[in-house]
Amino acid sequence: MSDASTPKSLPHVVTVDCARGLLAASVMAYHYLHMEGIAHVERVAYYAVYGFFVISGFALYLRYQGDLKTAQDLRKYLARRLFRIAPLFYCAIILHLLLVGPEAAQGYKVIWSASLLFGFANAGDSSLLMGGWSIGIEMVFYLLLPFVVWTLTSRGSIAAATAAALVLSVAFVNFTLQGQQAFDASLWSTYTQPAAFLGYFMAGMLIAAIFVASPRKGRFWPPALMVAALVPFVLIEAAYPIDLLVGWRGIVLIGATIAFVVGAVYLVEPTGLARTIARAIGGLSYPIYLLHPLAYLAVGKLGIVAAWPRLLAATCLTVLVSMMVMRWIETPARAFGRRAFP
């Protein structure tokens, strides 16, 4: 890792990509265990997804904070984001409709999901895919990023905006969920709004702004911070899963999620085979996150009775299909986006 502080000198941060891949795998593990009734570790599902928003804010700000200066820069940014998200997302929609059948093609969900704008229309209700709601929220943040880059031109202003966004997110979540015991469709739709997660995205951008100024990696404190950040997820108890999102518990776990990403940012970059593996884990994060529910549906049609063989088959299918789409869909689509919008 270079110690130069200019944005152009900062290389790709593989440790963050690897962290994103591990978070995606943890979401898959949660869903599979939950679907089989083996374990219900909602705290993993909640905050792993929220960690995606922190990482997204970090990666996007690190990449684009010096590049969005002209209308052409903006068109290139939006086009490349589209080629990053849309190809796999549309493939997942098609697979979902094939696996579930015509009854899954609820008109408004298909239209909103195909538009990629469902983050503006109650993402938790209008998304056709399990987990797709977060992609809708992510698209809202993609559109927000240029305005942040143009208006918040110092670390101080980004820090102030991050503090305000975190207060907004905490207030929105507590107002929406306080006193509730479980999510139903209506509550989930009300909760999955950009305001609930804006603080995470802004925190990621603040981490990136600090990293640009001080990119020196640490050998000992980053892994220690990541381990410490996981401790609250083990120790904090809650009567109901929603309790993990509100009050002091929610504030502590928000801080722990952000701290985990900080640790991942400043981990020493791996080299050699370890770097290759870390990059592969990171590269599979999006397909694993989006495709694992579909793999579970597909395996369910095979008639496997025992739970653990079914979960093993679904996991293997998820990884296999993720590797295939990474090679034949995602990588070519990104390359085309770079060629078409240099």
Nearest to residue 241, comparing CAs of 85, 87, 46?
Answer: 46
Residues constituting the chain? 342
Examine residue 2 and state whether it is found in any structural domain, yes or no.
no
Q: Containing domain of residue 146, as a range?
A: 7-340
pLDDT of residue 110: 86
Q: Read off the pLDDT of residues 269-311 as tens digits, 9 standing for 90 and up.
A: 999 999 999 999 999 999 999 999 999 999 999 999 899 999 9
pLDDT band at 342 (very low <50, low <70, confident <90, very high): confident
pTM for the whole structure = 0.95
Specify the amino acid at residue 303: G
Examine residue 306 and state whether it is found in any structural domain, yes or no.
yes
Contact 197, 245 (CB under 8 A): no
Specify the residue for token string 């239209």.
111
Examine residue 183 and state whether it is found in any structural domain, yes or no.
yes
**CA distance readout (Å), 239 to 104, 236, 286:** 34, 10, 32
pLDDT band at 12 (very low <50, low <70, confident <90, very high): confident
Counting the structural domains of the chain, the total is 1
Examine residue 297 and state whether it is found in any structural domain, yes or no.
yes
Examine residue 1 and state whether it is found in any structural domain, yes or no.
no
Examine residue 256 and state whether it is found in any structural domain, yes or no.
yes
Q: Any idea what DSSP says for residue 327?
A: I
pLDDT of residue 1: 36
Contact 212, 256 (CB under 8 A): no
Q: What is the DSSP string of 138-163?
A: HHHHHHHHHHHHHH--SHHHHHHHHH
pLDDT band at 11 (very low <50, low <70, confident <90, very high): low
Examine residue 262 and state whether it is found in any structural domain, yes or no.
yes
Instruction: List beta partners, residue 267.
Output: 218
pLDDT band at 24 (very low <50, low <70, confident <90, very high): very high
pLDDT of residue 107: 73
pLDDT of residue 307: 95
